[in-house]
């Protein structure tokens, strides 16, 4: 599998430009931004901050989170999506509320589709839900999901499993790193990290 390391400042800058497009060009102002934890947190924080300054003279945009998980590690995934909770329950949404649902990546689409299904069950219309991701993996060899991203920073067309890639978001991810990847992407910039991470991640690499 191809592995790409994506610096957090790239995600930040892309998120700001996407927020500008949604707000200033498309005129989409959500009533609630839902951040899908934990992957969507960094991008959602940036977009929420943009709306805070761009929309400051209007009604505030509520920023909330949902804990959902479907991946266990780099090599394993489960088709079942676990939703552990919402900081602003969908039952509290009002008729006509517009929702922005943010995650870092659309891969299988299982998590996003499960969350959108929950919102639809609570009466939110699909046109009032905007799915926002940094990376949209359009895997042409897979069956299309009912819900696809409305906004993305990058669209990666992947025509076969051999072309697939694991995007490592350097804002938080530490699982699945080899000693060489740690050296290149962490220790080289800050040698002190070797004593901070080495005893844990060195064992992780050996176990794999």
pLDDT in tens, 58-97: 989 999 999 987 755 555 555 678 899 999 999 999 999 9
113 & 180 share domain: no
34 & 126 share domain: yes
122 & 54 share domain: yes
133 & 193 share domain: no
pLDDT digits (tens, 9 = 90+) for 105-134: 999 999 999 999 999 999 999 999 999 999
> 94 is written with which tokens?
């009002």
Percent of the chain with pLDDT over 70: 92
Cβ neighbours of residue 48 closer than 8 Å, sequence gap 6 or more: 33, 35, 61, 63
pLDDT the model gives residue 159: 95
pLDDT at 205 over 50: no
149 & 178 share domain: no
pLDDT the model gives residue 75: 52
How many structural domains is the chain composed of? 2
Predicted TM-score (pTM) of this structure: 0.86
90 & 34 share domain: yes
- Domain-located, residue 87: yes
77 & 137 share domain: yes
CATH code at position 94:
3.40.50.2020
Domain limits for position 194: 174-208
For the CA atoms of the chain, what is the radius of gyration? Answer: 18
157 & 178 share domain: no
Q: What is the mean pLDDT of the chain?
A: 90
76 & 146 share domain: yes
37 & 85 share domain: yes
Of the segments 92-96, 173-177, 192-196, which one has the largest average pLDDT value? 92-96
Q: How many residues does the chain have?
A: 208
pLDDT at 140 over 60: yes
83 & 153 share domain: yes
Instruction: Report how far residue 107's alpha carbon sits from residue 136's, in angstroms, rounded to the nearest whole number.
Output: 7
- Domain-located, residue 169: no
pLDDT digits (tens, 9 = 90+) for 1-32: 788 999 999 999 999 999 999 999 999 999 99
Q: In what order do the strands lie in the sheet with 62-71?
A: 77-86, 62-71, 32-37, 99-106, 129-139, 151-158
pLDDT the model gives residue 206: 45
Question: 140-168: buried (b, 16+ CB within 10 Å) or exposed (e) per residue?
Answer: eeeeeeebebbbbbeebebeeeeeeeebb
pLDDT digits (tens, 9 = 90+) for 26-63: 999 999 999 999 889 999 999 999 999 999 989 899 99
137 & 193 share domain: no
- Domain-located, residue 168: no
């Amino acid at each position: 599998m191809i592995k790409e390391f994506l610096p957090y400042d790239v995600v930040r800058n892309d998120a700001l430009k996407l927020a500008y497009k949604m707000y200033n060009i498309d005129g989409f102002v959500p009533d609630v931004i839902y951040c899908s934890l934990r992957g969507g947190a960094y991008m959602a924080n940036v977009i929420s901050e943009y709306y805070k300054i761009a929309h400051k003279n209007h009604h505030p945009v509520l920023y909330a989170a949902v804990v959902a998980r479907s991946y266990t590690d780099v090599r394993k995934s489960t088709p079942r999506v676990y939703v552990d909770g919402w900081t602003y329950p969908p039952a509290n949404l009002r008729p006509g509320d517009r929702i922005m649902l943010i995650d870092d990546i659309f891969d299988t689409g299982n998590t996003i589709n499960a969350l959108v299904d929950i919102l639809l069950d609570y009466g939110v219309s699909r046109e009032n839900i905007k799915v926002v991701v940094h990376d949209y993996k359009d895997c042409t060899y897979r069956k299309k999901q009912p819900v696809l991203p409305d906004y993305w920073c990058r669209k990666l067309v992947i025509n076969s499993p051999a072309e697939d890639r694991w995007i490592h978001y350097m804002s938080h991810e530490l699982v699945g790193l080899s000693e060489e990847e740690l050296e290149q992407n962490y220790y080289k910039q800050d040698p002190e990290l070797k004593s901070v991470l080495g005893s844990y991640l060195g064992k992780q690499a050996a176990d794999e």
